Amino acid sequence: MTMSTDADDRAVWDSVYDRWSPEELPWFGVTFPVDLAEAHSMVGKLSRVLVTGCGAGDVVAQLFDAGYRNVIGADLSAKGIAHARRRFGDRCFVVGSTEGLAASGWHVDVVLDWLVLHHITPERLIAYLSALACLGDTVLVGWLCGDVEQTVPSSVKPDGVVYWHALERVLSAMPRHAVRMSHRFDIAINPAFAGLAIHQGGVLLGLQRV
């Protein structure tokens, strides 16, 4: 299934997945921290889980390995999804942007958005967060950020940048009528993940529909 989305953005991500193998990408191995017991208590093993921006599929595979059975991975890049299907062929993957899936009426128990938000431009942030809020009863969104909002060059996207959307900005942009923050976890990023000059780590927010 292919959803319509911003063609330029898709072309950029396709070029990333054309150029690098999954193992060469700087986020390879930086998977959803499985030791976040509270986060996992929000995600029952039978929950319908949608992993948005799943790229080459590692988080989907990780959830299957941890016993989750009702997991779908989606990404706007068909090349990323091709990697995922080749590597984890029996898993369930679809091509589709987060915004496109929301516009098509997708709704699941839990949305997990891992290491995507810092790639969303400030102009698209509100629409992106609204789409996440539409997609799931529970939204787990984890991204790289620091105390200060800043922009750093991307080591993998051609001419690309990474946006460290500050926590306050994300919370104020979240559609408050739709979701409330229930959990916050500070994520320490593996120092080996040096590609983006990350010094401070990131945040994983647990958001619940109200």
Ligand X SMILES: C[S@@+](CC[C@H](N)C(=O)[O-])C[C@H]1O[C@@H](n2cnc3c(N)ncnc32)[C@H](O)[C@@H]1O
Find the binding residues for ligand X in span 1-20 (CB under 6 A): 9, 13
Query: Cβ distance 109 to 137 under 8 Å?
Result: yes
> Cα(145)–Cα(125) distance, rounded to whole angstroms?
14
Contacting ligand X (CB under 6 A), which of 3, 50, 77, 165?
77
∠ at Cα 55 (163, 209), nearest 5°?
A: 70
Query: Does residue 42 sit in helix, strand or coil?
Result: coil
Query: Cβ distance 5 to 53 under 8 Å?
Result: no
**Amino acid type, 144:** L
- Residues that bind ligand X (rule: CB under 6 A) add up to a total of 20
Query: Cβ distance 73 to 49 under 8 Å?
Result: no
Which of these ranges, 63-71, 113-121, 166-174, 180-188, lies near ligand X under the rule CB under 6 A? 113-121
Identify which of residues 8 and 210 has a Cβ nearer to ligand X in the complex: 8
Identify which of residues 73 and 206 has a Cβ nearer to ligand X in the complex: 73
- Which token pair is 196? 């983006």
Contacting ligand X (CB under 6 A), which of 83, 91, 119, 165?
119
Q: Which residues contact 149 (CB under 8 A, 6 or more apart)?
A: 163, 164, 165, 166, 169
Determine if 167 is a binding residue for ligand X (CB under 6 A): no
How many other CB atoms sit within 10 Å of the CB of residue 184?
12
Contacting ligand X (CB under 6 A), which of 64, 68, 93, 114?
114
> Cα(66)–Cα(64) distance, rounded to whole angstroms?
5
Contacting ligand X (CB under 6 A), which of 54, 134, 135, 203?
54
Identify which of residues 155 and 172 has a Cβ nearer to ligand X in the complex: 155
Determine if 164 is a binding residue for ligand X (CB under 6 A): no
Identify which of residues 162 and 179 has a Cβ nearer to ligand X in the complex: 162
Q: What is the smallest separation between the CB atom of 7 and ligand X, expressed in angstroms?
A: 12
Please give the residue ranges that form the binding site for ligand X (CB under 6 A).
9, 13, 27, 52-55, 58-59, 75-77, 80, 97-99, 114-116, 119
